Structure 1
Amino acid sequence: MVLSSKQPMCFWWGPDLLKFYNDAYIPILGLRKAKALGRPFREVWADVWDDVLPFVRSALSGQATWMEDLPLVMTRNGYEEQTYWTFSYSPLYGDNGAIEGLLNIVTETTKAVAGREALQASYKEVQEHLARQEAHDRELRLLNAELAHRMKNTLGMVQSIVSQSIRSAESLEDAASVVLARIHALSKAQDLLTGISIAAAELSIIAENAIDPHRMDADRFRFSGPNLLISARQALGLSLALHELATNATKYGALSVPEGCVSIQWHLEDDHQFSLRWIETGGPLVRAPTRRGFGSKLTERAVADLFHGTAEIVFDPTGVVFSLQGRLDQSTDL
């Protein structure tokens, strides 16, 4: 039966488990085919003997075995190679009914396992690519929303700058000069928001640039805090927050009236704990908005993440207060 089968088969017989096999089994032997016939199992397959011994013992005790894709490292062709096998060991009985050997029906699945692993790797790569693409699409949507929001804000700021400059100017020429200067300052602030090319920046300079388009006179802004270097990413986030706050203050808050002013205070503790407060005074009565806009959410959530802490805008009746608590990045070398 073994010799006539097209399925790779062999059997081991007698106390030494001497090996006999059919033609379909020959490729499995590799370079061992010249010395395998009639030789003991333990000698022919010495390199995997310890791995298959539990299955041999089970079959010789009368319990047939079945294994799928069993990994075995073989040296059948003169070098170590990782192989995989699906096989069964079944007891063979002699004329007296005692177990005299075992039958091995086997299929090498090395190529099939390699194919499945390659397919799984390809599937994982595709999934990772799709995840990256989805993250890219989300980021693109956020950037598009931010761009649209920033364009609307810029137009609103230009309108406010022009109207307030004309209202306080003594002549048309005076107004034109002031408007041009303030729009130029606005352009500088926008440049800061689009990217910072240095590793760290001075916090006071970041604050000055962010509020420059809204500075109607020297007394409307008060700064208080130590000289601090902050990382480029935190500088960009803080610029964005101050830019949003100044825009809203110009439209609706303290900067919308001549007597209003803003105080910006920051502190740093020994353990890199950082805090900053934006306080508006002298403006119109503040009422909390019924709907939080994109800019407010971006100011609170994005800046809080960048500073590894919390950020909150409080609509106090006497003036808007923005509070940031967190810590500075420790890598702030210029």
Structure 2
Amino acid sequence: MKSTGLDFAKLFETMPTPFMVLDGEMRFVIANDAYLAVTGRQLDELVGRYVFDVFPDTPERQAATEASFRQALAGERNRMDRNVYAIERPGKGRQDVYWSVMHTPMHDADGHVYGVLQYAQDVTAEVAAERMRDVISQEYDHRVRNLMTKISAIARHTARHSDDLIDFLNDFDPRISAMARTHELLVNGGWEKLGLRALIDSELKPFAGQQQTVIDGPDCTLSSRVAQALGMALHELATNAAKYGALSQGNGRLHISWRLGDDGSLILDWLETGLTHVKTSAAAGFGSTIIDRILPMETGGTVDRNLHATSLSCTITLPDPLKP
């Protein structure tokens, strides 16, 4: 046969994909640079040693890999997809990696099998990405179910306090819109956390009377759970202010401020002043349930509301603004 002039030993050594060869006793014969790099070993640590002495694994994993090697030694090429291997990384301890490997029998000039060539493709990142997609899908499913449950509950309770369909829609639609605004902010922020100021601005935006409002407080971050519950409560407070309170009266003023306690708690003060002809019934209904019962239940916090002749105050204390 005419020589091709190729240096096959050099080609094997410099291939970017991990390759190694075992003899009939499953001892290392050779491994290329890519294999040595991903396993963190030197060639002299491998040659002549039994593969499972170098890379011990759980009995189940070792049995499966050994069976694949023996199948190749019996002359049958075979593949192991996404097989997990425990590899000792220098300074990092043992780590699991996922390889899709091909085990090919190697024949001598007489056609006898004398070893196994392993070609390995690292699919660890692919497996991790698929697992992350599964987690995200499950989390998304959970959030959708949770959202549907909340919408259903709001619909039932709103209907219970409505005189007719028009009355129901006038209360229900704004509540769902409030939920949607908070949801949008959370989605844009990766659903992890939400700034308190952004939440307040979002819930006050639909209402007139911005010039009557003062908002003041330090940077504060809320978990998604706390943000959703507080957002609904702020919507109810703002709705009440627009219908009966400071935002419905020319001389009314709304001051929203908050501070952080030494223990990490959040204390938010909602204060309406300059009120006249305040209706005590304005605090009744499902909105009151959201503020006084649902918010504390969801956040573990407390709510203290007080109605006076010319003012209304509401202090919300959240012991853990980042409650998951």
Q: Which has the larger radius of gyration?
A: 1
TM-score by length of structure 2 reads 0.45
